Chains A and B, each alone.
Chain A
């Protein structure tokens, strides 16, 4: 079935630093790809998505481009803030029935 591999954390950055969290996928065809974010003590929120190859999803200053050549969907942000401290999950559909499979999650900590 479809799967995702995410870079391990934790990632610790200073405020205003550039962020990249790597995500690569294995899939049949070209499924939609997602990034979810989980702030401390909360459930997951959909951060951004891309539904086809070469699409770029963006939200709250975060971006990710669906690259079929490298089967990647890396999450980037040009200047992180302390409020971006959270766990980030890459996800894609698997197994039918609208089910998603999630990566292992990458914890981001942004310090002043």
Chain B
């Protein structure tokens, strides 16, 4: 397994601003993922964060809105840009371990945009 931390745990932001969320893992992992969970909803995958190359985005998500960095095998950031109230969600980081499909999740960042 892996232990994952996220910062900040929550934030309240003004519309039009940007927020960067950090995800730190206690061991080197190949696969890191970013999800959005809107209130009372399931998880939607935003992108796969690739170390040393551009992230792979899912349909409906674009790099200009959700730029992602992955400078090494233990750290990633997700930026939510030019925020609107519709971006109010929980943002979750997860990691996948080689050899199986298990994923381990961070505690999430609860974002409210006013």
Contacts and interface: CB of A to CB of B under 8 A. Distances in A.
Is chain B found bound to chain A in the same assembly? yes
Interface of A: 31-32, 34, 36, 42-46, 49, 51, 89, 93, 97-100, 102-105
B31 A97 contact: yes
11 contacts: A32-B100, A34-B101, A42-B108, A43-B105, A44-B94, A46-B102, A46-B104, A49-B102, A89-B43, A93-B101, A98-B31
A98 B42 contact: no
Contacts of B96: 98
Contact of B45 (A43, A44, A99, A104): A99
Contact of A89 (B31, B42, B104): B42
Given A34-B101, A49-B102, A100-B101, A43 B42 contact: no
Contacts of B106: 43
A51 B102 CA distance: 11
A108 to B, nearest CB: 14
Contacts of A32: 100-101
Contacts of A104: 41-42
Contacts of B100: 32, 51
Nearest to A92: B101
Contacts of B108: 42-43
A46 B107 contact: no
Interface string B81-106: 00000000000101010001111111
A108 B2 CA distance: 27
A34 B94 CA distance: 15
Contact of B42 (A46, A49, A93, A103): A103
Contacts of A97: 31, 48, 56
Interface in B56-97: 56, 92, 94, 96
Given A43-B92, A44-B92, A100 B103 contact: yes
